[in-house]
Structure 1
């Protein structure tokens, strides 16, 4: 996740590259059945008497700590002549060594068995490698070139796919640590398709158990996504080495994930193309490719450079991740991969999550973004109250993107052109931005009054615009069925409340909480969650019911006053037998139709 401008492509011969390299790796997979790889790292040109080498604690695209050291063992350290060196451990993540001859060799075993965007996975189907989860490094050599050789399993027909520069055979090169760590690699018997866009190559590498015909069909859909997203910015980024590579694994042993990188992305899922993935997996493809502009080059200043030793915090994730999420499903609609009706129905859940969350009283979108080190696949054992205090910056930013887009369209503008301006001011120049920069750019694009209103009310504070009017302008209805009662929390078949009750709901107001077991509703027993829901549905808002429940082994009672159901429904005018006027038709088409000429 580094941001160094490439003024020209590296065209050195292999011998010249090798002469420059200070960190050389060889990785082998003979024990892949037990999820092990053997790594040999050779670090040269060491000037300091005492040298530190270490494992990363996090990974590009992640904001939390993941402590990759936990899967490394059998570490052996020698000098350049093979003499064993004594090491010390100043912390859980690193070693220090002295008495070397300018070179140290580190051999270790890596255990890896999670096939996603953050970790590595090694088994008899593939070596799916995220570099920070795989390779040690010497911080003092971070600006010097690196090289890695993959000893592939030829008996399994493995080959290598990566954004790293190819040297020869299965040897690859990176200019420095930031690029190396940002270069995930898939080693397997994969299939590949490619196409050209304005002189650059888009590669699609797929490791799956399906057919070549399925890949052809899926690749045709991927191409539509690439070309549609290109229209938002007016051009593709200038990819290093002229290529961008999708590294895709749809296999049973993978995990569902997606992770952006400068010239590539990892996309994984257990769902095969023949089992629903032909359509359902496309959202991650669209999301991650949009990141090659927004995040990778339109980059928050707080993430530059990426810190491999600490958690990475940014107040801009509502824009970096959230606006990318907005364009994810919008792109699928514009590309004709989902219908307009599917698009509108698809954002309904996110809309309800954001609009009805009590968390907005505690944090604005910037502060929600600050929470990333605690929620970005981070792990802890103590209970948290995030149901009441946190809205995902993916979802929050998604709805802010929708609100800004529709608001701009009221003034004859649109979010696409704003994103183009951000791209030209920051991304294309690879100049990191701040929240203030975004504010000033919106002022420049839409006028100071518009920019000040949007940021003052919706970014620096947590207010929400009149979405009913905005959606109406493009022929979408926003309604609530206030005649339906809302208890405020669901229960399982045994009557237990399995999550924190939400501030302001009927259950919360009555003092009910996670772990309580509801026994009776106004004296009536129930035998399943379905029965409980039917009892509530038979009532009306403002009805009061007596709840008998058990807490910590003690039977208690409380009165619950039901509230009107808060859930919103979004639907096209046509679904409600409403007619669009000419203005609404034009606005809808401008919003949801393809931008390709």
Structure 2
């Protein structure tokens, strides 16, 4: 059952020296109004707005949306000088309270920035709240102001309330700027429920959902995920947070999440929300292809980050620098290992069965195997290059890079199954060892190697060198079969056989990427081409050329009729090109199934098995 919301408890009011008030300036113009009060400013106080948000490794230039900045001291205007793209200096005197006012344009519905319209508001402090340089470690206060524009709205956030009303409007506290930056705020008319997991109250709010959403199922499934993960990390001990908030925005077409220390912001397609079963029927078992399975995997992923990256994190992230890129080679561990555990936790929570989980693993294997860039870039390099490659994808991305999410998850799988096969330990035990030895704090690759050596009773430097710091293939077949999975192959999708990634929207067959070494590249096809049709040479001398219009790749096999060569007719820059194409030899995709259920159970079952 869904628990009723308890009365909001207030904590004793404090008087932080840095105080922000966020209000709706104009919902239709998508403008937030921000007031910043500094009780003890420095002389010529400097301020800055972050250029990125932790967890999303791209310089996003949030300052582009800040406007109409002004400053006041003792009732008199103070000149504000812009120093660079995201820093300013108020020509103020020291010691006297300083007030700054400005607006922020907010019309990005992602989890990374800020959004505002007449139906909903959302923001991360990194998009709205200027840093007071020199006072980042001081307590900060945030007021979320109610107004006519917010009638009927509620507020959800992981921040600690100090004087908030029943709807959540009012005052909140943060220990420092980092905590403020790590606490997104959701505002609007949303569905809301609470549940308890591991002795901790969790709140789940959903904006944009239809009335048909099965909230009971969403809450129960999420509770099982949370209970499973808390038990994984702590057994029966309490987790390192006293409350947690899920903020989900359901849109027509969206997906993503961003982790925080005691909350997460999520986006899913509205169609992926659970629907109630027909009267008298039980919900159908989840399939690997179900949108709701994808949503639960996202929930599991972001919740696992509560430990793995928000607390246990790269040494380079011990103190965030919001002014520039923060580099690390360890995203394969923090994002990749989290990606390994997200679906595994669904299995251990009993939300999916063995066969479904193995299909999800096979999907990841095929994603990596179908990426030529895995032979070009190591997963450690991919981590370091996230700022300029992963978050700046183009048509050559699959040929030049590998995802630290997908390959990182397969590195975790190989380590886990190798440890289990050798009979000494498991990756579960390694993760808990790292948590305890680092006290849930910064870590380096050397810490992982030490934990592997102690628990695995031998050095794993060779595996890390081969799987992380080289482009060698991973021993997926052997480790999976050794753990009770059946490893086989099926015919690969036609796009993969040809070496293509395509879009077939609105009846137009457009090439999104041409993969290195494939038949399409050999024929001279290029990203951006619209594939209009195919031609076949006459069967008999003197016969007519056979020509066909196509709209989808799946039309090709029937037209080809086993002919080894064809001519692709494409449109490029409004020119029509005829490109001879040799039909590729058949390629294969990985399939996984249950072979030894008892053996699989030692891996997929109890999260505290080893």
- TM category (shorter chain) comes to 0.7 to 0.9
1:591 aligns with 2:591: no
Q: Which residue of 1 aligns with 2:76?
A: 83
| Corresponding residue number in structure 2 for 1:92 | 85
Match of 2:489 in 1: 479
Aligned positions of 1:92-241 closer than 5 A: 92-102=85-95, 103-153=97-147, 156-169=151-164, 170-211=170-211, 214-235=214-235
Cα deviation, residue 464, structure 1: 2.3
- Residue 4 of structure 2: aligned partner: none
The range that moved more, 313-322 or 303-312, is 303-312
Q: 1:391 to 1:203 in 2, by over 3 A?
A: same
Of 428, 432, 453, 1:416 maps to 428
Closer, same or farther: CA 409–29 of 1 in aligned 2, 3 Å = same
1:115, distance to aligned residue in structure 2 (A):
3.0
Structure 2 residue aligned with 1:5: none
Structure 2 residue aligned with 1:396: 407
Q: 1:517–1:187: structure 2 CA closer, same or farther, 3 Å change rule?
A: closer
Aligned to 2:60: 66
Q: CA deviation at 1:263?
A: 1.3
State the Cα distance separating 1:544 from its structure 2 match.
Answer: 4.9
> What is the aligned partner in structure 2 of residue 8 from structure 1?
none
Moved more, 125-134 or 348-357: 348-357
Q: 1:567 to 1:306 in 2, by over 3 A?
A: farther
Residue 594 of structure 1 and its aligned partner are, at CA, apart by 4.8
TM-superposition CA deviations, 1:309-333 (whole Å, max 9, x none): 1122221111101111111111112
* Residues 41-75 of structure 1, C-alpha deviations (whole Å, 9 max, x = no match): 1112123x221112211112111111111112122
Q: Distance in 2 between matches of 1:431 and 1:142?
A: 20
Q: In the alignment, what sits opposite 1:533?
A: 556
> Is 2:416 the counterpart of 1:405?
yes
After superposition, the Cα gap between the structure-2 partners of 1:277 and 1:150, relative to the gap in structure 1 and judged at 3 Å, is: farther
Q: CA deviation at 1:236?
A: 8.3
Structure-2 change in CA distance of 1:245 and 1:589 (3 Å): same
User: For 1:258-277, what aligned pairs fall within 5 Å after superposition?
Assistant: 258-271=257-270, 273=273
Secondary structure at the counterpart of residue 71 of structure 2:
strand
**Residue 501 (structure 1) aligned with residue 511 (structure 2):** no
> Offset at 1:109?
1.4
**How big is the shift at 1:461?**
1.1
Q: 1:280 to 1:385 in 2, by over 3 A?
A: closer
Distance 2:102 2:411 in 1: 47
Alpha-carbon offset, residue 408 of structure 1: 2.1
Superposition pairs of residues 195-344 of structure 1, within 5 angstroms: 195-211=195-211, 214-235=214-235, 242-250=242-250, 255-271=254-270, 273=273, 279-344=293-358
Assess if the C-alpha contact under 8 Å between 1:37 and 1:110 holds in 2: yes
1:374–1:482 distance in 2 versus 1, CA, 3 Å: closer
> Aligned-pair distance for 1:26?
1.0
- Give the CA deviation at 1:469: 2.4
Q: How does 1:409-558 map to 2 (within 5 A)?
A: 409-412=420-423, 413-426=425-438, 429-449=439-459, 451-473=460-482, 474-481=484-491, 486-489=497-500, 498-516=511-529, 519-523=533-537, 524-528=546-550, 529-530=552-553, 532-534=555-557, 538-539=561-562, 543-545=564-566
1:552-567 → structure 2 map (5 Å cutoff) = 559-567=580-588
Measured at CA, do residues 206 and 309 of structure 1 come closer, stay the same or move farther in structure 2, by a change above 3 Å?
same
Contact 2:389-2:397 within 8 A present in 1 as well:
no
Is the partner of 2:134 in helix, strand or coil?
helix
Which TM-score applies when normalising by structure 1? 0.86
Instruction: Determine helix, strand or coil for the equivalent of 1:486.
Output: helix
Structure 1 unaligned residues grouped into runs of 5+: 1-10, 574-579
Corresponding residue pairs, total: 564
Residue 4 of structure 1 is matched in structure 2 by none
Q: TM-score, normalised by structure 2?
A: 0.84
Cα deviation for residue 340 of structure 1 reads 2.3
Tell me, in whole angstroms, the C-alpha distance in 2 between the residues paired with 1:263 and 1:241.
6
**Whole-angstrom distance in 2 between the partners of 1:185 and 1:526:** 54
C-alpha distance in structure 2 between counterparts of 1:109 and 1:483, whole Å? 50
TM-aligned CA distance change 1:425 to 1:567, over 3 Å: farther
- Does the 8 Å CA contact 2:501/2:513 hold for their aligned counterparts? no
User: Aligned to 1:539, what secondary structure does the other structure show?
Assistant: coil
Shift of 1:264: 1.1
Q: Distance in 1 between matches of 2:142 and 2:602?
A: 48
CA shift digits 1:75-129 (9 cap, x unpaired): 22111x1210112111121211223353321111122122332011122223212
Contact preservation (8 Å) 2:536, 2:565: no
* 1:152–1:159 contact (8 Å) kept in structure 2: no
Residue of structure 1 aligned with 2:12, choices 7, 11, 14: 14
Deviation string 1:536-588 (CA, Å, 9 cap, x unpaired) is 86438xx4555566666666665544433333131314xxxxxx4xxx33221
3-state SS, counterpart of residue 564 of structure 1: coil
**Shift of residue 131 of structure 1?**
1.0
Q: Against the structure 1 CA distance between its residues 89 and 333, is the aligned structure 2 distance closer, same or farther, given a 3 Å change threshold? A: same
Q: Are the equivalent residues in 1 in contact too, given 2:11–2:161 (CA < 8 A)?
A: no
Q: Partners of 2:485 and 2:125 in 1: how far apart? A: 47
Could you say if the C-alpha distance between residues 547 and 221 of structure 1 is closer, same or farther in structure 2, counting changes exceeding 3 Å? closer
Q: Compared with structure 1, are the counterparts of its residues 12 and 167 closer, same or farther at alpha carbon in structure 2 (3 Å cutoff)?
A: closer
- 1:568 aligns to what SS in structure 2? strand
Shift of the 239–126 alpha-carbon distance from structure 1 to 2, 3 Å rule, reads: farther
More helix by share: 1
Deviation at 1:265, TM superposition (A): 1.0
What displacement does 1:266 show?
1.1
Counterpart of 1:41 in structure 2 is: 36
Measured after TM superposition, the shift of residue 435 of structure 1 is 2.0
Per the TM alignment, residue 489 of structure 1 is displaced from its structure 2 partner at its CA by 2.4
Report what 2:278 is aligned to: none
Write out per-residue CA displacement over residues 475-532 of structure 1, whole angstroms, 9 at most, x where no aligned residue. Answer: 3222144999933226667886623321121222344322445553443422113465
Cα distance in 1 for partners of 2:508, 2:92 equals 66
